[in-house]
Amino acid sequence: MRGMKLHEYQAGALLHSYKISIPLGNVARSADEAFKVSNQFKSSGYVVKAQVLGGGRGLGHFKETGFQGGVHLVDTPEKVQSVAKEMLGNSLVTKQSGADGLPCNAVYIVEKIQIEKEYYLSLTLDRAGASPTFIYSKEGGMAIEDVAHERPDAIFKLKVNPLKGLDEADLKQAAVNLGLQDKEDQVVALFQKLYACFNEKDCDMIEINPLVLTKQGVVMAADSKVTVDGNALFRQKELAAQEDKTQDNAKEAEAKQYDLNYIYIGGNIGCLVNGAGLAMSTMDIINSYGGSPANFLDVGGSAEGEALVVAMRLLNEDPQVKAIFVNIFGGILRCDRLAGSIIEANEKYKFTKPIVLRLKGTNSDVAKSMISGREKELNIYY
């Protein structure tokens, strides 16, 4: 199950509950409410942030109006109100959202802070190393992937033995690596509080970008992202209740109802595969030959019948998809059942897009005999 993402205002509130320093601010769901919120605290300026579950907000634009940017720095409550009016009720299109964008139903208004220096800090799971791992850098406020590519020596990692917990000597060294040795107490406390939050709230990831040192000497989480383990939500009912399902891609939401593992990507080749490893390999192969996968879709071993029909329909109805690649290694999911679902889906919805079909494994010969002679009708190549 995929992790549940929190909005920035929700993540900020969670960190604040662990006594981690964040900028003053509050959420608003109307322009008038945004005006009231900005009058609740005195500041030399305000940052208005569209609350959508996607990165690259600052460089995005709103689909309906063309209004540029999901993050704005303004100097008066009146301008806060004006910007909020442009954002709320519209869809923010970013590099990660796809052409439809993500609905902006709330804005987060925070105080403008006086920043001395920006840093990067995150805590996530290193599955290969079977340990929670801090990743941190002096280079913050930018894509950490770019820093890792251009200056790998600027990235530090601190693996935590989950049986022993944090070692204070390691945390003091982290302060040195960040150039914040004179703020050692704050850095050590911040790492300890993040680790407590990470464990107690079943987080997959906590990312602070940027972590800042203010001109007043405070180490502060200026922007935060939190993802909670979807398989642990039964333990985290308070967080689960905060999930914003309006942010789900419509196709992902429908697929979830049928226990299909579908992730929208936005390319032009639809993928239907059984098994996550084979699905990832299939996407890599498509990329290596210059194609662009439209989605990750793992139908698993138990999906059959209506679920498989829905899977085929989702791909066929995606306007960005030009062709569909079905790559099945038959095991628990028998190839003949998959073939039957393709035939049923075509009878219901009539495929308009070519399907490249690869079937190997259990009953693959039976499946091919079911399709034989109907290739043109089904628009199938194999």
Query: Per residue in 51-69, pLDDT tens?
Result: 998 888 888 999 989 999 9
pLDDT at 379: 78
| Average pLDDT, integer, range 212-226 | 95
Q: Which of 28 and 307 is assigned the larger pLDDT?
A: 28
pLDDT surpasses 80 at 240: yes
Among 8, 33, 139, 207, the one annotated catalytic: 207
Angstrom distance (rounded) from CA 361 to CA 182: 63
Q: What is the per-residue pLDDT for 277?
A: 87
CATH 3.30.1490.20 residue ranges of the chain are: 24-111
Query: Looking at 61-75, 133-147, 199-213, which range is the least confident one?
Result: 133-147
Q: Which residues of 168-198 are buried (b: 16+ CB within 10 A; e: fewer)?
A: eeebbebbebbebeebbebbbbbbebbbebb
Please give the pLDDT value at position 140. 79
Secondary structure class of 358 (helix, strand, coil): strand
Q: What is the pLDDT of residue 215?
A: 95
* Mean pLDDT across 287-293: 93
CA distances, 147 to each of 140, 151, 191, 224, 253 (Å): 9, 5, 22, 18, 34
Read off the pLDDT band of 73 (50, 70, 90): very high
Six token digits for residue 216: 């007043």
Which residue is catalytic, options 120, 195, 262, 264? 120
pLDDT over 60 (residue 165): yes
CA 116, 120, 126: angle at the middle one, nearest 5? 165
Lowest mean pLDDT among 68-77, 215-224, 242-251: 242-251
Q: What is the mean pLDDT of residues 245-251?
A: 76
DSSP letter for each residue of 154-171: GEEEEE--TTT---HHHH
For the chain, what is the radius of gyration of the CA atoms?
24
78 has which bridge partners? none
129-143, 168-182, 292-306: segment of lowest average pLDDT: 292-306
The residue behind tokens 């909005």 is 7
Q: What pLDDT score was predicted for residue 206?
A: 97
pLDDT on residue 302:
56
Q: How far is the C-alpha of 237 from the C-alpha of 255, rounded, in Å?
A: 23
- Asked whether the beta carbons of 126 and 132 are under 8 A apart, the reply is yes
Strands across the sheet with 91-93, in order?
61-62, 91-93, 102-103
Query: 250-277, pLDDT tens digit by residue?
Result: 777 777 777 788 888 889 999 988 888 8
Question: Angle formed by the axes of helices 335-349 and 364-371, to 10°?
Answer: 30
Q: Would you give the distance in Å from CA 79 to the centre of its chain?
A: 30
- The fold adopted by the segment(s) 115-240 is D-amino Acid Aminotransferase; Chain A, domain 1 (3.30.470)
**Cβ atoms of residues 309 and 316 within 8 Å:** no
Greater confidence (1 vs 44) lies with 44
Give me the pLDDT at residue 83, please.
97
What pLDDT shows up at residue 265?
84
Please give the pLDDT value at position 301.
63
Q: Is residue 195 annotated as a catalytic residue, yes or no?
A: no
Architecture of domain 249-381: 3-Layer(aba) Sandwich (3.40)
Residue 100's pLDDT is 77
Which residues in the chain are classed under CATH 3.40.50.261?
249-381
Residue 201 has pLDDT above 90, yes or no: yes
152 preceded by cis ω (within 30°)? no
Contact (Cβ atoms closer than 8 angstroms) between residue 371 and residue 359: no
207 is catalytic: yes
120 is written with which tokens?
A: 């990067």
Non-local (6+) Cβ contacts of 163 within 8 A are: none
Q: Can you give the pLDDT at residue 46? A: 96
pLDDT at 245: 82
CATH architecture designation of domain 24-111: 2-Layer Sandwich (3.30)
Q: What residues contact residue 183 under an 8 Å CB cut-off, 6+ apart?
A: 175, 213, 217, 219
Instruction: Decide if pLDDT at 303 tops 60.
Output: no
Structure tokens at 345: 């889906």
Residues 360 and 378: their CA atoms lie apart, in Å, by 19
Encode pLDDT of 115-143 as tens digits.
999 999 999 998 888 899 999 999 877 77
User: What does the pLDDT read at residue 260?
Assistant: 82
Is residue 40 predicted with pLDDT exceeding 60?
Answer: yes
pLDDT at 304: 64
Helix (H, G, I), strand (E, B) or coil at 295: strand
β-pair type (295-298, 323-330): unpaired
Domain with CATH 3.30.470.20 in the chain: 115-240
Is residue 287 within 8 Å of residue 293, measured between CB atoms?
A: yes
Tokens of 234: 């039964």
- The one-letter amino acid code at 297 reads L
